[in-house]
A = this chain, B = another copy of it.
């Protein structure tokens, strides 16, 4: 299979696990099971990169400082777009350049996803119009307010209605494992979870 480029948006005060959860899952997925296949990228179904609006280090929530791989100006074509959340999303709702970039990147991507309050940015960009979606439990009302055509789901770890949105923070792990299963197959998803020693209650939820 062709390797897909997963582009993860990062911004000031992005929640750490919101973006590192999907980073871990997508960068550690391998189409050949086991531990050894993780030592190289040969069997990696995704190339994962981080993208920020401007250049320079980005300070995530709690102070973790990340150097993005690309800016909006230099980003490659993104096949899998990941929009994380965090308190930093609120000012970005008024940032027309960023919202436009999300709309354009989402239009070009094969898969569009969000974690936590990243769904607010997707909503603002019009990507969730008429779809079922979810977000962090503290932002469900705001999601509906930003786009009343969205059917807001309150009790799901993630919602896949063409665009894939997830609940708060750690639910991004489940969303990303779902994405791996959809793109590379259930065995690859299960093997990736095993490598990560991930035995969440959500895997039960996924199987129900």
Taking Cβ atoms with an 8 Å cutoff, the residues of A that contact B are 15-17, 20-21, 23-24, 27-28, 35, 38-39, 48-50, 57, 61-67, 69, 87, 116, 136-138, 157, 167-171, 173, 195-204
Task: Assess whether A63 is in contact with B27, with CB atoms less than 8 Å apart.
Answer: yes
Query: In the docked arrangement, what's the CA distance between A49 and B64, Å?
Result: 8
Return the contact of A169 from the options B15, B23, B171, B196 (Cβ within 8 A).
Answer: B196
Task: Assess whether B87 is in contact with A62, with CB atoms less than 8 Å apart.
Answer: no
List B contacts of A57 (CB < 8 A). Answer: 67
State the number of copies, please.
2
Q: What are 19 A-B pairs with beta-carbon distances under 8 A? A: A17-B21, A20-B24, A23-B62, A28-B61, A28-B62, A35-B138, A39-B87, A48-B63, A49-B63, A67-B67, A116-B197, A136-B197, A168-B195, A168-B196, A168-B197, A169-B198, A199-B201, A200-B200, A200-B201
Shortest beta-carbon distance from A71 to chain B in Å: 14
Task: Assess whether B197 is in contact with A167, with CB atoms less than 8 Å apart.
Answer: yes
Task: Assess whether B23 is in contact with A64, with CB atoms less than 8 Å apart.
Answer: yes
Query: In the docked arrangement, what's the CA distance between A138 and B68, Å?
Result: 31
List B contacts of A168 (CB < 8 A). Answer: 195-197
Shortest beta-carbon distance from A127 to chain B in Å: 22
Task: Assess whether B199 is in contact with A200, with CB atoms less than 8 Å apart.
Answer: yes
Return the contact of A24 from the options B16, B65, B167, B201 (Cβ within 8 A).
Answer: B16
Find the B residue at minimum CB distance from A169.
Answer: B196
Query: In the docked arrangement, what's the CA distance between A67 and B61, Å?
Result: 14
Task: Assess whether B63 is in contact with A64, with CB atoms less than 8 Å apart.
Answer: no
List B contacts of A137 (CB < 8 A). Answer: 197
Query: In the docked arrangement, what's the CA distance between A157 and B201, Å?
Result: 14
Given A16-B20, A16-B27, A67-B67, do A62 and B39 touch, yes or no (CB 8 Å)? no
Query: In the docked arrangement, what's the CA distance between A38 and B116, Å?
Result: 15
